[in-house]
Structure 1
Amino acid sequence: MLYGCNNEKSADYQESEQVANASLETGDTTVTEKIIKTAEIRFRVKNARQTKKEISDQLKKLGGKLVESDMQSNIQKSEKVKYSADSLLEITAYKTEGKIIAKVPSAMLDEFTDFVAEKAYFVDYQSLKFDDSSVSYLGNKIKADNRVAAINSLNKQANKKSGNVETSLYIKDDYVDQKIKNLLIDEQVKFSTITLNFYQDNTISRLVVGNDNLYDYRPGFFQRMGLNFVTGWTIFQEMILIAVNLWMLILVAALIYFGIVYYRKHRRLLSGRGMV
């Protein structure tokens, strides 16, 4: 029974495929020109932030779209020198770089690139690429038309079996994919993508900051000398107090000392008399 059901389902699916394939047409083979333009420029400017603002304003004026915008400052070298007793002068050399990715109406691409060239102090790199997608666009269009014809043929069939339904859903999904591909091509043809990388020469920044060297906050020499005298007297007093706390040990040590002295003196007297 399972084998028979599977064979029946396979036969229905093959029948649906035959109906779909039988409805394929070549359609209109007229090739419409679809040229996709992409450009990239790397250049040096006098003021990166001001250039970014001017380019953004010009882009809006021409009806373009900003896709990505980035601005960063990379520190090349930094040094701190003494400025006063409690402050330092921080000297920093940094390089500012910017990046803009935009979509410009293709008809305005030349005007926009000319505007960018006027803002450039020096152009490092510039490229313009043309990608002909006319044949791909035609192929997607023919495939989409064939999907429509196949769906219409399937809809005319009175057979409501699952094979026709599955095939119809597959063809509809594929039709949507082809339409989306052509919509993307139309968007890329209408708006050209341009990438701008720009930078400015190293800039020197001077900033007075707080002195973070703790040694510079110590008192002066004579003040420290007076404080050391006071500290020494305090230490001497503490030593006396410690000695007072140990008076018993000092007394025992004194008795031992005098005992030894007395013994040695008494011994010498006895030796002088010839008794020892």
Structure 2
Amino acid sequence: MKNLNLFGYYLIITGLICSCNTNRSEKEIINTSVDTLSASGLVGISVKLIKTASIDFKVKNVFESAKHIVSSTHKMNGLVLDRHIESVDENSKSLAISDDSVQLINSYVVKANMLVSVPTEKLDGFIDDVSASAAHIQDIQLKIEDKSLDYLAGKMKQQNHEQLLQYKAGKNHKTNESISLLEQNNKLVDQQVKNKKIDADVNYSSVQLSFYQNPLVRSEVMARDDLSGYRLPFLSSIRNSFFNGWYYFLTFIIGAVSLWMFILAGVVIIFTYRYFKFRKVSAV
């Protein structure tokens, strides 16, 4: 009877150990990060997933939000790659308030576009921080691109190039073979750079941010650009007309004096004509 009890305890302990191992295996599967899984079948460090995101949202103040995004990016050891802020006019109206000035009223929207790069492990935290500071989220997109096979192919090609270069290193080469060796070297460098770029894109994720705020209204008084509206007061116009008339009269006198030879010749011709006409009448 005692042996049966001991055997029963043994079965219970064994069952508990197996159940713990089963739960442990399930937890390990559940806690496995998607960063270590690939559709290509690769696991672990061989997986190369490139994450990119884009957020389109509305804020209360574009300039303050831009400062907040820059500060948040720096805190996460990220980098601001591009920042562009612009004001887009929507409607405008001009009101004449005097002969020489107008009041210009226009509505405009301030928009911003930013491109930032943050560590991939902090991407979700960055998106949450930006979303929390937004007044309204219009669109959030997250894209994951699997570059595992491209990276693996690049490593295999790199190894092949290295083996080929090592094989040719101990031989004397002619000019054509030296050129071919140089081309192989360049291909090796290109492949190394390509793989390093994939590593950089895997470690740092790019986030495209587009945000704007409510339309604003701006009013300003400015000089009128229509010159027909600029006129002198009535008394000033009368005074200018008087002086202009006197100026034209003096100008006429000066012009007449300048033609004194023509006037004198005309007077001589007239008197000569009348003189000969008078003698002819007297003779008759």
Q: Same fold (TM over 0.5)?
A: yes
Identify the residue that residue 264 of structure 1 maps to in structure 2: none
Deviations 1:39-79 (A, max 9, x none): 11222222222221211111111111111111122222334
Q: What one-letter code is carried by the residue in structure 2 that aligns with 1:178?
A: Q
The counterpart of 2:173, out of the listed 161, 167, 174, is 161
Identify the residue that residue 18 of structure 2 maps to in structure 1: none
Higher relative contact order (CA 8 A, sep 6+): 1
CA RMSD in angstroms comes to 3.4
1:183 aligns with 2:172: no
The counterpart of 1:49, out of the listed 44, 63, 70, is 63
- Deviation of residue 223 (structure 1)? 2.7
Q: What one-letter code is carried by the residue in structure 2 that aligns with 1:141?
A: K
Distance 2:111 2:62 in 1: 7
Identify the residue that residue 216 of structure 2 maps to in structure 1: 203
Per the alignment, do residues 114 and 239 of structure 1 end up closer, same or farther by CA in structure 2, a change over 3 Å counting? same
**Of 127-136 and 210-219, the range deviating more from structure 2:** 210-219
TM-score (norm. length: structure 2): 0.67
- Deviation of residue 248 (structure 1)? 5.9
Q: What one-letter code is carried by the residue in structure 2 that aligns with 1:113?
A: I
The counterpart of 1:225, out of the listed 234, 238, 241, is 238
How many matched pairs? 231
**Of 243-252 and 131-140, the range deviating more from structure 2:** 243-252
User: Residue 172 of structure 2: SS of its match in structure 1?
Assistant: coil
1:119 aligns with 2:95: no
The counterpart of 1:109, out of the listed 98, 123, 126, is 123
Distance 1:198 1:95 in 2: 11
- Deviation of residue 125 (structure 1)? 2.6
User: Residue 81 of structure 2: SS of its match in structure 1?
Assistant: strand
User: Residue 74 of structure 1: SS of its match in structure 2?
Assistant: strand
Distance 2:222 2:265 in 1: 59
Per the alignment, do residues 190 and 223 of structure 1 end up closer, same or farther by CA in structure 2, a change over 3 Å counting? same
Preserved CA contact (<8 Å) 1:77 1:92: yes
Preserved CA contact (<8 Å) 1:48 1:200: yes
TM-score (norm. length: structure 1): 0.69
User: Residue 72 of structure 1: SS of its match in structure 2?
Assistant: strand
Distance 2:143 2:242 in 1: 83
Q: Gaps (5+ residues) in structure 2?
A: 1-40, 275-284
- Deviation of residue 145 (structure 1)? 1.9
- Deviation of residue 242 (structure 1)? 6.3
Distance 2:197 2:252 in 1: 91
Identify the residue that residue 89 of structure 2 maps to in structure 1: 75
Distance 2:251 2:187 in 1: 96
Listed as ranges, the matches of 1:247-258 within 5 Å are: none
User: Residue 219 of structure 1: SS of its match in structure 2?
Assistant: coil
User: Residue 127 of structure 1: SS of its match in structure 2?
Assistant: strand
Preserved CA contact (<8 Å) 1:154 1:164: no
Identify the residue that residue 22 of structure 2 maps to in structure 1: none
Identify the residue that residue 10 of structure 2 maps to in structure 1: none
Q: Percent identity?
A: 30
